[in-house]
Structure 1
């Protein structure tokens, strides 16, 4: 005998509730105690926080943002990047990543096979220079807003004066007893009224546009403070590999002296760029800047080493926004430096600059001791 439909519905709802509660338990356990993994054996899914040393198949990480850690004493799985490597520059590109933060996007690159990633600090955090520049822009905007508000207030007073004059004209026309003069006053009043109405309508439109612009500026400032607050607290960042795969890396260290940061992707054996020997590259040697400008992934620009200025490598290779944190490499794909900014000079092509790689390796030597 089949149970009634209402009983089947109740059973279905209970099963669905148990399934949801099971997934919530998995999520809560992951959030509270660390990553949770699952693997399939003989058609049955097994859940664990400690992956077996010899799993029967692929292990799936159920914790967003956490990499699969290797079994204790086991070897890290090789991070396979599906990207062509037909020459040394493409090999270097395969080890370059896009780095996403609340401040925007930049670049980085693997510097050890253990997953260490070098990038610029300003890609992840607000710098004093950025804060000062932004505050200066906010102040300039505030000054322009104040100037417009003063101009609108003056115009509002003039409108009020014109409105009073119109009222006086209307009253004069009303009290005029001579028909011809009253008609002349009325015609003059009508013309002045049309002019006033056009002026007032135009003023209202400009006032509304200005109010909308003030709201946009206010919202932009709030978004800026919110994003910078998040950025200054963030410890995990999305990275995009050369083949478009996304992973999550965590912040290891920020340099106090240089525009440098060190991230780490856990759980994998990664490709890594080899540093060029100190002093090996000479002025005029070809160099290549790799990065992700304007979200154009795996972009390469070429030039020569122009010289060394105040501790920075100078090049005429184009370095655009989004290239920050990417590698500057030689013709053999060995990394010379970390692209950091572009300085524009009057009537001259922009000059790119990079922090020497050995400066970065020295800054993070304690973290890279096991490279």
Structure 2
């Protein structure tokens, strides 16, 4: 059956003129889906790392190390799901570009999958995007399309898709629905499988930061679906509206500034953020995120991105509450991406000074807590 006209199924007005029953198209589609699924099949599951805590606390802290994916971040899972979703919906077509509004890890991962199935990829991003992120996108075969105002990324992505006949992936709308939250080796199912032989196989808390909101939605839905007693906390950085929107029940909450913690925090309540599924939110100062990610390196010898620090800070604060209440159990958070992408930011004292961030008080808080079990007031 040949279809033509305008389609708005993916959020962008795109001219459609494809014979869906054409054997060449169907053969291409089958091969593209096979390649994306094969990527998951040959990739070992990501590790669950232990963060050292005093044995007498009776609490275990784990970090789900998503940096070991082929493209080095948590967004590899999301990109794979989005490509399968777009392919199976008939939105991604041979020879037509896939377009995404992203200057971060999602764009890197989507460029990888676009190259894998042989379609062009264009990342729409602010002109101020770091050279390292641009290099990674281009390394995986993607192109970078710059805008002067980051608030115009969505609009420009949809417009570019219309002009090229391509597909605007729109991670911020489709992240929560593209992933099978009931299982199928999603991140939540993986966490529970890996904890089976641990002393606390059902975590008391899972702490997941939010960019699109897709990961926190997947984890929270899985917890409810399997009737676990686990609680889900979403930490939010400065200059993000998720915390305000959640606490006030305001779907129109917004901010005028972008997040300094790359990959998480948004200036608007994104469609993929599902407030009703999560149990708790916590506002985390950016300086605390940096202090935590540096403390992580001291503890386990691994550098990680700032979003990992945001989750770790919140996890330590939750553990302090557990210690104070005499409760035992496990807490899981995410190691979202490697720190070598951010050496000129979160590991640079010059950048901290430029941003006016003083991490010393937060570093002292972490050190005092790990030494005494008490969280300074």
Q: Please, what TM-score do these two structures have when normalized by structure 2?
A: 0.24
Q: Which has the higher helix share?
A: 2
The structure having more radius of gyration, on CA atoms, is: 1
